[in-house]
Structure formats: structure tokens, C-alpha cells
Amino acid sequence: MLLYYDLHIHSALSPCADDDMTPNNIVNMAKLKGLDLITVSDHNCARNVEAAARVAADAGLLFLPGLEMTTSEEVHVLVFFEEARAAREFGDKLYAELPDIRNQPDFFGNQFILNEKDEVVGTLDKLLISALPYDIDESCALVREYGGYAVPAHINKGANSVLANLGFFPPQLFFKTVETVPGLAIESDISRFEQIHSSDAHNLWQIAERERALEVEIANVRTILQKLCD
């Protein structure tokens, strides 16, 4: 069974994303584009994941809960969970540990918490794109502690990636899968990894087309996590 996917989509909670990146808009655009599976992966928080999961379920779209955390080295790591509540609890832990740098909406953008009707039910004050006080080893250990699964994000981008910021994959860390950006050079041997290619969408039009698929035996979150991370 092939599941066409986009596992890296930012909602209006991320200050760098458009305000119209609401649960319903994201899910409806994914459906229009013929996707079967999506993740809402906001920076260092997952307060919109539960609403997005409910909207996706109502639309018959598979939803993999997650977020994108920023290590102290400013490396971005995608983190996936089996349940939306677990993602939200992990995101709340990360938010509490962010430095007390206040968001400036006029400069960075809004950080909207939305419900399943796309209504703004709150905002977050701390700037979500700040780095956490955990290095990559500590970050991956924390992910495991909370039952999550880590996938290094956009490893061949020139910033905020393992290869750009560290220059290598720490040998003590195990990753089964990495996210790569098609068309960008990869200055490292990554033949030992599986690869996913997602959009890192910050607006609706950037959400992936029906181009890339995961092959699984059963279409459920557990099987998807096994495919990516176990």
C-alpha cells in the first residue's frame, strides 16, 4: 500500500508560517493535492496538533502527530509520536524550556493556537523559533524519554541541519531515516539511511503534491512509525 505524504507542515502556530495555515485549510489542501498522510510540525510546540488530528480524522486523512524541535546547536529535528496528546505534552515540555525571549508578532509573525473550527483560542508569548537548551544528544534522549521518534530535518539545507551546523552525524546517535530536500547537493554519504522528502510548508501552496509515497502493509500510525524509525 502506498501512502502519499507530507510529514513537515507548519501551522499558524509557527511565527514563520502564514496565518491561514489553519487545521481545516491544511487538511483540505492536502486532500485537494491527493495526499493520504500528513504531519503538522510546528517549532518547539504542538498546541495545534490535537485540533489538526481531529480535522484530519473527520476528513479521512491519516495524521502523524509531531513537531520540529531546535537543539542548542540550532539543528532542526522532526519528532513524531503515535498519539496527538503525547506530541502536545512533549511540546509543552519544550515550550517551558525555551529562553524567555518574547515573540514580536509584527516582526516574526503570529503564534496562533487554533481549534478544530479554525478559531483562534490563544497565542503563545515565547518566541518558538528560539533554540532549546538541549544539545542534539540531550534532545534525542528527551525524545526517547517521552516515547517519540526523531528524524533529522532537511539535512542538506545550508542552515539548521545536522550537516550544516555540525558537519557530521554524531556516531553515538541512531537514526533510521533522515529528511532531505530534493535537488540540493548532499556532501556526505547517507546511503545507510532511509530518506523522506517533505515540503517544510509555511503556506498552503507549498504543501507537497502527490509525488512521494511510503510503502506500508497497513495504513496506521504504528506501521508508519515502524517504517520510519524502528
| pLDDT tens per residue, range 4-57 | 999 999 999 999 999 999 999 999 999 999 999 999 999 999 999 999 999 999
Domain count, the chain: 1
DSSP H helices, the chain, are 23-32, 49-59, 84-97, 136-145, 162-165, 221-229
Cell 498522510 identifies what position? 37
Confidence of residue 184 (pLDDT cuts 50, 70, 90): confident
Question: What percent of the chain is modeled with pLDDT above 70?
Answer: 100
Q: What angle do CA 78, 225, 69 make, to 5 degrees?
A: 15
| DSSP three-state, residue 137 | helix
At 55-110, the pLDDT tens digits run 999 999 999 999 999 999 999 999 999 999 999 999 999 999 999 999 999 999 99
At 124-182, the pLDDT tens digits run 999 999 999 999 999 999 999 999 999 999 999 989 999 999 988 888 888 999 999 98
What's the CA gap between 112 and 118, in Å, rounded? 10
Q: What angle do CA 53, 91, 168 make, to 5 degrees?
A: 110
Q: What is the pTM of this model?
A: 0.96
The contacts of residue 192 (CB under 8 Å, 6+ apart) are none
Domain that holds residue 108: 2-229
Q: What is the mean pLDDT of residues 206-229?
A: 95
CATH code for the domain in which residue 10 is found: 3.20.20.140
The contacts of residue 42 (CB under 8 Å, 6+ apart) are 10, 11, 13, 14, 17, 48, 49, 67, 68, 91, 128
Number of CB atoms found within 10 A of residue 143's CB: 21
| Nearest partner of 86 among 54, 46, 36, judged by Cα | 46
β-strand partners of 149: 80
